[in-house]
Structure 1
Amino acid sequence: MRIVSGRLKGRHINPPKSFRARPTTDFAKESIFNIISNNFDFEGLKVLDLFAGTGSISYEFMSRGVEFTDSVEKDFHHWRFIQDTKQKLGLDNLNPIKGDAYKFIATCSKIYDLIFADPPYSMEGIEKLPELILNSQILSENGWFILEHSNKYDFSDYQHFKEKRIYGSVNFSIFEKKIR
């Protein structure tokens, strides 16, 4: 796994072989970040990375110069890996949070410009995430929620759905919080 762009481009991140996380492929990561960069200026963005796993998405955001990234991961070993990688890469504005993503959403008082979620594909309740995020107060107006998921889900009928992108077995559904 590597960081594909920004000031840390080319840096390799090597989680232990025992990790159960499924990191987003470099190709899919580069593609979704191209879409984001065509719609947002990374500088000043406030980002939330839910179900952070290896932290791969958080490192990409940090490499591109966002203001800060809160990275929520429930598994202690994954959270510890993100903590250690933060230190190794000198990512002072990366905030690894050990906790349940659903509980975090329910209690969070911050507002983010962009929220990325990559839950385990087999996890129950994935279909509720767009509604949970978009009905909460944690996503700014005109902010995006990007959900990585398997091809078994179709969110095109959901309120605030913007578009879907498919890269091999990786599906991204993008939602934009427009106040109507």
Structure 2
Amino acid sequence: MAKLTMTAHKQPTGKIRIIAGEWRGRKLSVLDKPDLRPTADRVRETLFNWLALRLPASRCLDLFAGTGALGFEAASRGAQSVVLVERERDIVHHLQQQASVFNAKQVEVIQADALRYLANQPTPFNIVFLDPPFSSDVLTSCLQTLTNGWLAPNALLYIEQSRETVMPDLPQGSTLIKQLMTKQVCASLIQF
């Protein structure tokens, strides 16, 4: 008797709640994938308190979208547009489904490697989220590339990294304005 083989798509295994805004209390489903690490509620709440006055009508880029928590939270709180960049095809498909469920017309999901995306013609963003997998070493490259036209005047850049990781050198003309340390994470907000 022949064996039947089926390719199984990853199923959502968890939920992340949107903290505030239009979709307050709604939940994003999260796929069970290695390196897919949602930003903790406490860290997200602090970050979006930092961004509260700058977020409405802003253009946001979530360069390592993963769960989409940062990008969807920004859209829920009034961002004019949010671009979610993710390289994993199944995660991209899942994020597109989430955008459809939320009727999030201001959210665009793009399948691309972060550095390849940044190799395109730059479009300036007001707020950029950099939350790569902790095992990667792309922060320095992303920071250097973002300064080549990707940041609008007075842009804000959020970096989330492992607490043990050394903060990369900040580009000239940028200033670290806020920082939060938890047991596992160092969350930094940089002004350009």
Q: TM-score, normalised by structure 2?
A: 0.84
Q: Does 1:174 align with 2:189?
A: yes
User: Aligned to 2:43, which of 28, 31, 37?
Assistant: 28
Q: 1:18 to 1:121 in 2, by over 3 A?
A: closer
Which residue of the partner structure matches residue 140 of structure 1? 152
Work out whether residues 122 and 148 of structure 2, in 8 Å CA contact, stay in contact via their aligned partners in 1. Answer: no
RMSD of aligned Cα (Å): 1.7
Q: CA deviation at 1:167?
A: 3.0
> Partners in 2 of 1:19 and 1:2 — Cα distance?
20
Per-residue deviation, 1:131: 2.5
The percentage of aligned residue pairs carrying the same residue is 25
SS in 2 for 1:71: strand
In structure 2, the CA distance between the partners of 1:23 and 1:127, relative to structure 1 (3 Å rule), is same
Superposition TM-score, scaled by structure 1 size: 0.89
What's the offset of the Cα at 1:19?
6.0
Does 2:20 match 1:5?
A: yes
CA distance in 2, matches of 1:75, 1:149: 20
**C-alpha contact 1:148 1:173 (8 A) present in aligned 2:** yes
Q: Which runs of no fewer than 5 residues in structure 1 stay unpaired?
A: none
Structure 2: stretches of 5+ with no match in the other structure: 1-15
Residue equivalent to 1:60: 73
Whole-Å separation in 2 of the counterparts to 1:157 and 1:51: 20
Corresponding residue for residue 151 of structure 1: 163
Give 1 or 2: higher strand fraction: 2
Distance 1:168 1:130, change over 3 A: same
CA offsets, 1:103-152, max 9 Å, x none? 1112143110011111001102323332322x210101100111111123
Larger radius of gyration: 2
Equivalent position to 1:118, from 127, 131, 137: 131
Structure number with higher helix proportion: 1
Q: Which residue of structure 2 lines up, in the alignment, with residue 101 of structure 1?
A: 114
Residue in 2 aligned with 1:50?
63
